[in-house]
Structures are given as C-alpha cells and as structure tokens.
Amino acid sequence: MAQPELKPEPAEGVEIQPSASLTGSPIEGARMKNLGEAEGIKSEDGTVYKFWMKSVANEKLVKKYREELLKDAKTKADFPGFRKGVVPPFAMGQIYKFAIQEALTQSTENTIRAFSLKPLLTGDGQVEVKEELVDFSKGYKLGTNCEFTATLNAVFDPDAITPEGDDNDAITVEATPVEDTAEQTEKSEEESS
C-alpha cells in the first residue's frame, strides 16, 4: 500500500504534549497542535479550541477490525455464484475500507485522550480526517500502519487522569509555545549569573 501523502501541518499554533509517554503505545509518534480558540463555538465544559493532530492507525488495530468484520461477513455472506458463508474477493476491498475506518476512529479517540482533551458531543466537535479513506484502502497490505492528519474542536479535560503512576490526581495541561520556553530559560540563566 502506498501511504497517502499527508496534508501539510499548519504553520500557526502551539504544539501540546501528551499527558503520558506515548513510547510503545499504538499511537506512538502522535502529535497535537492547538490552533487557537474556535470561533462561534461554545461548550459548558470550557473554552473550545481548534486542534490539528497527526496520528497513526496501528496495523494491529486494522487487523483486529478486519478479522471481526470478515467473521461477521462470513456469517451473513450469501453471494450468487459463491457458497454460503464465502466472502468473494471483490468484497474484500470494502472489508479493508471499513476496518481502516474503524482503526482511524479508535486511534483518533486514543490520541484525543492521550492529550487530555475532551471532544464535543455535538456536530461542532466532528473530527475531519484530511486524507481520503479510499486512498488508505487501495491496495492495503496487512501489517501496514496508516498515518493520518485531522482537525477537531475540543476542550481541555480538567478531569483527565494520567494512566501511569500511583497518584490519581487530575492533571492540568498548559500549552507553552516552544519560543517562550527558550526565552524563559535565557532569562533565568541571566538572572542566576
């Protein structure tokens, strides 16, 4: 499978850090950028921001959904010219398409949680994957991860809990621009001299 070309990352915005390390997780390498307050969108959960994300639908997740969908399709399969319970080769493209779609959805949910965000439950919170689903499913080969980018509106989740560690205290996520961090380090070095 040829990985679809990812849509370019927006130049504006502030990259935020995940609430826990993503190393070894199915979404390792995921990134999230706060693009600023979403205009005209309100939520009782707090200020709504627009986010850009890059994540990956792990090949194991795609395989899991493919197997589930194939098993279900076999129980219902009744195609003319094929034995009952046999899924014809021409239907496999749809199976892969649905499996990849489910894996993208699950990976998006995992990424949102990993960055301590709370999605909006209304249409304003819809996630928009920037790459075309059909491009992922064309010639997909098992064992291949699917990298993708998306935008969404969400709020910072004040009730987010770190998945690691013994304490279950709520965490607070503050997005600090990288440039500001460098300036603060220079100022503290000057003050300590």
**62-116 pLDDT, tens per residue?**
999 999 999 998 888 888 888 888 888 888 888 889 999 999 999 999 999 999 9
How far is it, in rounded angstroms, from Cα 62 to Cα 42? 35
Per-residue model confidence (pLDDT) at position 51: 95
Half-sphere exposure of 115 (CA within 13 A, CB side): 29
- State the pTM of this model: 0.74
Low-confidence ranges of the chain (pLDDT < 50): 161-193
Helices 59-76 and 92-114, interaxial angle, to 10°?
140
Q: How far is CA 30 from CA 76, 81, 98, 102, 148, in A?
A: 37, 45, 22, 18, 10
